[in-house]
Amino acid sequence: MTSFAARAPVPAHADEPGLHSSASIPRHVAIIMDGNGRWAKARRLPRVAGHRQGVEAVRRITRAAREQGIEALTLYAFSSENWRRPEEEIGDLMGLLRHFLKNEIKELTREGVRLRILGNYRALKADLVELIDDAVARTATNTGPILAIALNYGAQAELVAAARRLAEKVAAGMPVSAIDEAAIDRELDTDGLPPLDLMIRTSGEQRLSNFLLWQAAYAELLFVDTLWPDFDGECLAQAIAAYGQRQRRFGGL
């Protein structure tokens, strides 16, 4: 597990935001944003306070990712398993999502960011779906970095849906031999995004939690102790510096 308080040495100045070489910068970073509840508990606050601070961290990291040259940032906001949480907490999370979409879309548009949504977000309440559709449409022609938000997302369900679509294509006449890795990629929610280079999970947990299982096949994994509400641009810069020290062989020598 990586602890940013006691990490391996990095190249000179590599821990300063914006000073990475282009070769060491991951094109696509995904983050499992974990630790909101523990952040609140440690301060004897309600869980929603942790989620509010988590939204502030989203703002910080979205901005920092742009500044540090990341092409695509994917954030795990709400999994298909999160419906098991208390109804009140789900309501708080959806309220914060509404607030984010209403208040951040102007900045995203101004910065040229394209918004993408992964997962079956249309299962959410109608007013929230309308907000999401509007935000995606308003940023669709932007040519800058991509912010992908995973909502009601589960990687296993994503793969099942891709398999079903391919089966339908085979039934319609597509040869089975046409099914390869690229064909599966095209059926996933991440179609059009750069290959996943780096996946970060905050809070010290070390599992993928049904997130981007196919896409993470050769991604570098980084598990850090920092709770999500405390994750900031410096933490992201340190994660990129750690990524830059990895030797990616993709099965070779």
Residues contributing to the annotated binding site: 34-39, 47, 51, 79-81, 83, 85, 201, 207-209, 220
Q: Is 34 a catalytic residue?
A: yes
Q: Which residues does the annotation place in the binding site for Mg(2+)? A: 34, 220
Q: How far is CA 44 from CA 50, 87, 161, 225, in A?
A: 10, 21, 42, 20
Strand stretches in 41-165, DSSP E: 72-79, 114-118, 146-153
Asked if 200 contacts 31 with a C-beta cutoff of 8 angstroms, the reply is: yes
The candidate with the shortest Cα–Cα distance to 34, out of 204, 150, 149, is 204
Asked if 57 contacts 12 with a C-beta cutoff of 8 angstroms, the reply is: no
Length of the chain: 253
Catalytic residue among 34, 92, 189, 197: 34
Asked if 58 contacts 101 with a C-beta cutoff of 8 angstroms, the reply is: no
Q: Which residues does the annotation place in the binding site for substrate? A: 35-39, 47, 51, 79-81, 83, 85, 201, 207-209
Q: Which residues are catalytic?
A: 34, 82
